[in-house]
């Protein structure tokens, strides 16, 4: 039975690496995957998923107005899709998460989503909230704070390396803009 999976973590836990590894494993067995990423996340290039360790692959893009069920169903009708892998899943809308659940339930294609649980203010992203509510399987991917404890929070940094406490929920960036911290050090605003 196909399921909807949500693999979540803070920044720099290796979510994209795990997604690309899963895609490779399917490919190695002669199976087809459909990779997807938010259109506005163009850090690796538009329609490209990349990990910090150098792995990358092309992906279909989605915008908040897109019907991802229709997109996946059309792709599946052209060529059998054995799994859908979604990077930066926190940027999905609630409606799109329901559409992905329908892919698993109706098309019987497993959907594996990878993304952040919370933003720099400790608030759930809409896509993450919906995935936490609807996913059949939840898996936390662990990373560590500078102190060695499990990092569950992310802090946004300004150009001077200071913690930002206000602003838009979404600002695309990597190690230059974000650092993962344990809850205690995030609360204390302690970067070590």
Phi, psi of 46 (to 5 degrees): -60, 130
Rounded to an integer, what is the distance from CA 169 to the centroid of its chain?
A: 15
Q: The tokens of 164 are what?
A: 């930002």
% the chain with pLDDT above 90: 68
In whole angstroms, what is the distance from residue 154 CA to residue 18 CA? 20
Q: Which of the two residues, 30 and 120, has the higher pLDDT score?
A: 30
Cβ atoms of 81 and 75 within 8 Å: the answer is yes
Domain boundaries, the chain: 4-142
Q: The tokens of 76 are what?
A: 């599946």
Q: The tokens of 55 are what?
A: 């792995």
Q: What is the mean pLDDT of the chain?
A: 90
Which class in CATH covers the domain with range 4-142?
alpha beta
Residue 1, pLDDT above cutoff 80: no
pLDDT score of 160: 87
Band (pLDDT 50/70/90 cuts) for residue 172 is: low
What's the whole-number mean pLDDT along residues 41-53? Answer: 74
Q: Which of 114, 46, 103 is nearest to 77 (CA)?
A: 103
Band (pLDDT 50/70/90 cuts) for residue 44 is: low
Residue 174, pLDDT above cutoff 70: no
In whole angstroms, what is the distance from residue 110 CA to residue 188 CA? 40
What are 3-25's pLDDT values in tens digits? 999 999 988 888 889 999 999 99
Catalytic residues: 88
Among 33-42, 94-103, 123-132, 147-156, the least confident range: 33-42
């Amino acid at each position: 039975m196909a399921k909807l999976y949500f693999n979540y973590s803070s920044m720099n836990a290796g979510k994209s690496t795990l997604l690309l590894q899963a895609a490779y494993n399917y490919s190695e067995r002669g199976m087809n995957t459909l990779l997807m990423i938010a259109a506005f996340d163009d850090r690796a290039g538009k329609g490209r998923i990349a990990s910090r360790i150098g792995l990358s692959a092309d992906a279909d893009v989605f915008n908040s107005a897109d019907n991802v069920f229709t997109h996946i169903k059309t792709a599946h009708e052209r060529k059998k899709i054995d799994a859908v892998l979604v990077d930066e899943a926190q940027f999905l809308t609630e409606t799109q998460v329901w559409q992905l659940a329908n892919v698993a339930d109706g098309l019987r294609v497993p959907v594996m989503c990878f993304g952040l649980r919370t933003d720099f203010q400790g608030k759930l992203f809409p896509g993450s909230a919906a995935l936490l509510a609807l996913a059949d399987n939840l898996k936390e991917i662990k990373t560590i704070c500078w102190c060695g404890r499990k990092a569950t929070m992310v802090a946004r940094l300004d150009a001077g390396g200071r913690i930002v406490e206000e602003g838009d929920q979404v600002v695309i960036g990597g190690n230059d803009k974000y650092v993962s911290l344990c809850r205690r050090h995030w609360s204390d605003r302690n970067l070590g």
